[in-house]
Every structure is written in structure tokens, then in C-alpha cells.
A and B are shown apart, each in its own frame.
Chain A
Amino acid sequence: MAEAQPIVPPLVITPEREGSRPIVQVLHDWIVTVDHKRLGIMYFCYGILALVIGGIEASIMRAQLAVANNHLVSPETFNQMFTMHGTTMIFFAAMPIVFGIANYLTPLMIGARDMAFPRLNAWGFWMTALGGIILYFSFVGGFGLYGAGSAPDVGWFAYAPLTSPAFSVGHSTDYWTIGLLISGFGSIATGLNIMTTVLCMRGPGMKLGRMPMLVWLNSVMAFLVLVAIGPLTAAQLMLLIDRYLGGHFFDTQAGGSAVIWMHFFWIFGHPEVYILVLPAFGILSEVIPVFSRKPIFGYNIMVAATIAIGFISLSVWAHHMFTVGMTSYANAFFVASTAAIAVPTGIKIFNWIGTMWGGKITFTTPMLFSVAAVAQMLIAGLTGIMLASAPFDWQLGNSYFVIAHFHYVILGVIVFGVFAASYYWYPKVTGRMMSETLGKCHFWLFLIGFHVTFDFMHVPGLLGMPRRIYTYEASRGWEGWNLIVSIGVIFQALGVLFWVFNVLKSYFKGKIAGNDPWDAWTLEWSTTSPPPDYNYAELPVVRSRRPLWDLKHPEDPDWKYE
């Protein structure tokens, strides 16, 4: 192999630790950084912090709903909790986390030294951070001088006219609007950056058709960010015009329409689900092959399915609005488009099974989380099929069934995927392995908690329990189910504690990982752990989808088959 230069640089693999530099200096380094890896870590940590806060808000709601006629929190508090929980989890937990993963891994995976626009990258992060701070400032500043402590209470989708000055006095809704507007600018910047990085910054030989699945899914995610955040931004601007300049966009007294807000919001809102879930799909598509010891089954159709999901997801938004009285033809159209998106999603599930089929599966913690996520995606997809059937949705819409369904997606797939990613790439980020024992405790606790909560949450929905109610009558037959649902939260919280403990402990005590602890195939495993600031001393030349497989198996390289 004359021209085969080593892809793995022969470097020592002891992770470097920050020395005993003054804390101010370390902090300064992090604050002014434009390095995609540091920004990725900051995004991720910011998202985890928001995840914990949002989780506490969810726990408060579950405590309130555990029994009928409970008086633990006031209706005001409960309404603020579900608004803040939804907003926090979507915009300040899930999005920063997937952006963080995309930021850290995209340049490494395509053989680049940084993102296309490193400074814009930092700007995007700080905008997102600022948005969250503004949102949470509402807890002390929502009513200005009239009384501290009023978070927004209009729901995370903030239907008009509840957000109009007449129904939402004070400034709590403004904090919500401005917070999301600003974090939206940050999101657009990051989407733009990921897209440009993928298009322009690929290393030698890294054709589009050779990119790792995660990069493909992240680039479709970035496309959706560019297309879908705009409508939210526009709608928020209109809401601000209504609230501050006396506009009438959503003013039903002056001929405005409450329904058009729903359209604008969901034109953003549904692609948003895919913005969050596509990176999770990408994680599964990286982890499952490595631990099955086989390449991803049907790379081309996986990419095609991803692109199909991206486009179809832009045409399904009104399935959130089956109950607003659209015409039968409009309803039928959105049934068709929504059901159609099940096809590419199904293809993905089948291809993951196809990847495992005939492999030699090792059940490390990331693989456990990934397999669970595949099974949960199946269930989430099937309840999605039920909800896509408009007449069924007339019953199920806005009930606890819907909450169970989308938490299956968001927790069961996205958060499981994120946990898988955390175990899988932790060695790359820190240079040390996470503890498998603690990881398995985390997995089983979280799995049990997840299923106790969200499997049983479907039932009160089927029994007619609407969402967003702070209390309910004992006679409705929802009581026992809600108690079970609330009990599951304890297991989930314990699981997350195990994870946090594992992350912290492994940082200091974990086994030294080396460059490539999983015997994986994508480029990021060819550099040191953690990677140097410039990622690659020499940009690696890529000849196939699995450059490290080629290197490890020179007798049977992948590029012979492509």
C-alpha cells in the first residue's frame, strides 16, 4: 500500500487535563472560545441544565396530578409549570443538546478542522443561552413592579388570543416571546453553520455519499432549521407587534384570526419535532452498526428516507389542528401527508433491524439505549399512526394520549439517543470511559421509569382525560393511572442521577479510553481523545463510508464495494 498514509496519527493517548490555572482564566477561555468542540460541550451542558430544570417542572406537575382534587400547587403555578416545561425542553434542552452533538461531531466526522464560521458558531450559542436566561428571568420579572414571580402561563404553543394583552396582562408572555425570538436567531445561525460546514468543509475524499449517517441527518436537520425557524420568528414578531404596537394579527375583535397563529406555529412546530428526532436517528445509525459489527443496512435508502422525512415534515403541520374545524378535504390531505411520513420512518426502523441482523451484537450501555430507542420509536410511530387518523384524533387530540405519544418520541427516542451518544462519545470528548456498571444501572432505572410513566399515560387519554388540567374529579376513573404515571418519575429521576454521577466520576476516575475504544469506523476515532484544537494534524483521505474499516482491514476494504 504505497500511498496509504496512516490515518491514525501515532500520538500518545493520555488525555490532558487543565492544569492548575486560575479559574478566571479557564472561564475566560471558555467564554471567548470559538472552537467547535468547546462550543459543542457548552451547548450540551447548557441543554442538560435545562433538561434538569424542565424535569423538575415536570415532577411538580406529576406530584400535583398524582391524586384527584389535589391542592399541592395553585392553578396559576401548574399552568406556568407546563408552559415552562414545554418551552424549556424543546428550545433550551433538546435543541441545544442536538446542536451540541452536531457541533462537536460534524467537523470531526467529515475531516474538517472547525465549522465553516467559528465566530458565528459562538454567537449562535450565546444567543441561545441569552434566550433561555430571558425566559427564566420571567420568574422574577414577569409582572415588572407589580409582583415578582410570574412565568408565562399560555402553554408552549401559546394559542391566540390567550396571548393578547387582554388575556395575558403583565410581561410574562413577552419574556416568552422575546426569549424564543432570540434563541431562534441563534438556531438559524447554527443551522446555517452546520449546512455550510457539511457542504464546504469536507476533508479530502469525503464525498456526500460517504458521509457518516449522523452527518447526513444533521444536515437535513440544519435544512429544517433554516426553513422552519423562520415561521416561528415571523409569528413571534407579529405577536410582539400585537402586544406592543397595537397590531391586530391575532386580535379576533378586529377581524384577526386565532387559527392563523396555529398555522404559523405548527408550520414551525412540526418540522421542529424532526429537527430534534433526526439527530437522534443519526446517533442510532452510528451506534447500532458499531456494536453489531456491520455497516448500516441500506445506506442509500437511509439517506433517501431522511431527505423524504425532511420534505414531508414540512407538509404535515395541520395534523395538530384536526379539531379546529377545517374542511373535510383539508383534513383528508393532512391525514394522507401525516400517514405518508410513517413510510420513511418505518424504513429507518427496518434498516436498523437489518443492521443488527446477522451481526454480533455487544450490549454496551450505548447499544442498550439505542436498541430501546428503536423499539420505542416503533411504538411512538404506531401511536402516531393512530393520531394521524383525523377522526381518531378528534377523540385523542389534546388528551393524555397525545402527551404519551410525543413523550415517547422525545424521551423514548431523542433522550435515549442522547444518552446513547453520551456513553458512546464520552471517551472521545474526555479521553476516559464512562463506567459500564453505573451505565447499566442508569439504563435499567431509566427504562423502567420511562415505561411506567409513559406506557400508562396513554390510558387516561383513552379514558377522556384532557391535557393541561391542574386537577380532576375522582369519579372520572383517572386516579390510579395518574398515580402510576407519577411514580415512574421517581425511577427516571434516579436514572438521571446515576448518569450525572457517572459523567462526573468518570471524568476523574474513568478508564483511559485511547483513540478508538469501540473499534469504530468513522473518522473521529482516528484522532486523539480528546482531539487536539485543530482536530487533525494531517487531514485524513477518505475512500469509503468507513475509513477506519479500510485501515483496519486492508485485505477487504469497503471502497472496493462502492
Chain B
Amino acid sequence: MYPRSANCESNSSMPCEGRARRSSRQVARLALLFLACGSSAAAATFGPSPVPSLFSPDSTPAHDIYHLSLFVLAICLAIFIVVFSLIVYAVVKFRRRDQDDGHEPPQIYGSNQVELAWTVIPILIVVVLFLAAARVIHAIEDATFPPDAIEVTATGHQFWWEFQYPAYGFVTANELHAPIDKPMHITLLSADTDHSFWVPQLAGKTDLIPNRRNEMWIEPHALGHYVGQCAQYCGIQHAKMLLNVMVDSQADFQKWVQDQEAPAVTSEQVAAGRKVFEANACMNCHTIAGTPLANGRFGPDLTHLMSRTTIAAGAAPNTEENLTLWIKGPDAIKPGCLMPAMQLDDQDVKSLVAYLMSLH
């Protein structure tokens, strides 16, 4: 095992970037081939994309993995070309010809030298691959964080995400906001079954497992909306447990935090809808901060529902139409999800939607 990097321990104010450059350089040095490519790509950002490709990383841990993956791919490609050529050559060269004399070919039983060679060379390659992987494992898993890193607790539920910002004291759901160029340390918990947090452009996945505390971190370097989804089978609606991460500028992030910290806006115009909400089981599962009755924790916090772009963990855009559809029968959007259809009449649904639409 290699020693813990001194860079990580002492220079804790800028841990991630320093480590990224260093590891990428060392990995690249191992590759030689990839030296130039590696150091230039370290600075590049790809920007958020609706296609969550592993090859467009925009966050420090994803970058580290990206460089390792290029290195591993290069080695594998080289091995493939060499060995596949050998196979093709053997198959073409040593096929039985039409003008064959019918004799058996020379019977060769083996060769110690050749066998030693093709034992030792793979061992050397394996050692190199192990060292390259170990370096990145260390860089990502044993990272230390500056005191001003943003702390978030993500809790996986069937089939949505809860995000708590303990430093600010508010809870939100399904859309994670992170400031640019700042490490965000995410503690991963689960309320029910296993889940996995995977936003490929920002970091590798880490599982959320009940009765276990996992952690991961991101440090995004480009603004915008990143997509991902639950990557560990968690039940019937695993497919629609989508993840959205909004990377904001520092100022936008601060403003978003202020908005989220405020209690829910209450307006007299939507009092009827609020009454429906509080008279039905809605309040048993959903919290609306600032109202005394709605403090359930089983479903997502709705205090600032309208600050989110989607509902039902990314299953549908957050529009009046979809909200209505969702309340009338959640199965229409997400069959098998745990929210029940409340059997409200049209008037109640209408006022309830109006109330929810007021929760900015």
C-alpha cells in the first residue's frame, strides 16, 4: 500500500484540485502515451448534458476517474490489438489449405520460455493497473475536506431523494443544489431499501444502504443542470427515481439557500386548498414548513415545491397539469409508487393544486 498523500493532509484548503492534478499527472506518467492528453484534459470542462456520459466529467472525482479510465482503456485497447491480431493471424495463416498433404503438423507440446513470457508480462501489466487504481481510490475515498465544504445528507426513499442541508436547517427533495468550485460532502443514508447515488458527470456512484452511513463528494466545475438516477435496484419504480443536480454560482446558491430557509408562503387566496391538504392524509406524509399540521416525513418536503423543476423524483415536469394528474392518480405517472390516490373530487383537486402552486 502506498503512503497517504502528504498533499491531502497538509494542504487542506484546496485539497481536491491539487490532488486531481497530481494524480492525473502520475497516472499519465505511467501511460506515457497519455501524458499530453491527460494534463490538457484536466483543465477542460464539458458542461452539463442531458446525456450523462462518463466521458464528459465536470467534477473533481469524476475527472480523476475519467483519467484513470482513459489510461485503463488505452492499456486494454493495446492488449486487444496485439492479442486479437495474434488470433486472426493464427486462424488465417494456419488454416488447412486445399492442397494439404494430409500429414499431421509438427506436434508441439509447449515452450517454457514462451509460457514464462506470457505469464510475466501480464503480471507486470496487472501491477501497473493496480497502482493506477489504488492512487485514484486513495484520492477519492480518503479525501479530506476544508471546513467550509457544504454538508448535505441524502436519504434514499422508495422512490425519491431527500436532501438535508444541516448547516442551514432545511430539507428539500429530488433536486440537489450545489455551488460551483466548492467541495460538497454528501452523507448517504437510506430509509428503506438499497439505493445508489449516481450522477456520472459529477462522481462515481455510491450506495445508500439502510443501517449504514456512506459518504461521497463532488466538486463541480461548470454551471448547470446535471442528471443521473438511482443505480441500485430498489423496487418497482427504481427506473423513475431520477436525480437532478443544479450547480449554481456562489451568489445564486446563496439566494437559493435563503429562499429554502424561509417558511412556506401562505396566502388567503389558496386557503381552501390548504384546508384540503390539512384535512386529508396529505399532511401525514408531507411537511410544509411554517404550517403547524403538515409535518409528515414519509414523502418529500413540499415547503418550496415550486422551486423544483420536476415532480415525482424527476418523473414529470412540475406543471399545473402534471400536478393535477399526479394528485388524482399517481399511478398515471409512476405506477406502483407509494403515494396513494386520495379520491378527492375535482373541486378539491383544483384548490389543492392552486395551493401547491403557491408554494414558491
Contacts and interface: CB of A to CB of B under 8 A. Distances in A.
Contact of B231 (A343, A371, A399): A399
B228 interface: yes
Contacts of A350: 83, 115, 118
Interface stretch (A331-339, A445-453, A483-491): A331-339
Contacts of B43: none
A261 to B, nearest CB: 10
A408 interface: no
Given A339-B129, A394-B204, A394-B205, A386 B72 contact: yes
Interface in B67-108: 68-69, 72-73, 75-76, 79-80, 83-84, 86-87, 90-91, 94-97, 100, 104-108
B237 A386 contact: no
Interface stretch (A35-43, A225-233, A234-242, A249-257): A249-257
Contact of A257 (B107, B200, B211): B211
A389 B72 contact: yes
A153 B236 contact: yes
Contacts of B141: 327-328, 331
B209 A468 contact: no
Give the residue among A292, A323, A383, A476 with the most B Cβ atoms within 10 A.
A323
**Secondary structure type dominating chain A contacts:** helix
Contact of B73 (A347, A358, A386, A399): A386
Nearest to B215: A325
Interface string B199-218: 01001111101111011000
A363 interface: yes
A335 B134 contact: yes
Interface residues of A, number: 95
Interface residue range, chain B: 35 or more
Contact of A371 (B91, B111, B232): B91
Contacts of A399: 231
Contacts of A167: 192-193, 235
Interface in A442-472: 462-464, 466-472
Nearest to A336: B130
B229 interface: yes
A389 B132 contact: yes
Give the residue among B64, B114, B132 with the most A Cβ atoms within 10 A.
B114
B80 A79 contact: no
Given A256-B211, A398-B232, A391 B51 contact: no
Contacts of A329: 1
B91 A356 contact: yes
B115 to A, nearest CB: 5
Interface in A355-402: 356-363, 371, 374-375, 378-379, 382-383, 385-386, 388-399
Given A390-B133, A466-B231, A297 B109 contact: yes
A162 B193 contact: yes
A475 interface: yes
A504 interface: no
A515 to B, nearest CB: 19
B308 interface: no
A386 B50 contact: no
Interface string B51-69: 1111100000010110011
Given A252-B211, A394-B65, A385 B129 contact: yes
21 contacts: A79-B233, A253-B211, A258-B212, A323-B204, A325-B212, A329-B1, A332-B133, A347-B118, A353-B83, A353-B90, A356-B90, A375-B84, A388-B129, A389-B132, A391-B140, A391-B204, A397-B205, A464-B54, A466-B196, A473-B242, A561-B109
Complex A-B, nearest 10 residue pairs according to Cβ-Cβ distance, in ascending order: A394-B204, A464-B52, A477-B51, A469-B239, A325-B214, A298-B110, A252-B211, A252-B210, A328-B141, A464-B200
Interface of B: 1, 50-55, 62, 64-65, 68-69, 72-73, 75-76, 79-80, 83-84, 86-87, 90-91, 94-97, 100, 104-111, 114-115, 118-119, 122-123, 126, 129-130, 132-134, 136-138, 140-142, 188, 192-194, 196, 198, 200, 203-207, 209-212, 214-215, 227-240, 242, 335-336
Given A257-B211, A382-B79, A391-B69, 5 more contacts: A161-B193, A258-B210, A324-B207, A327-B141, A358-B106
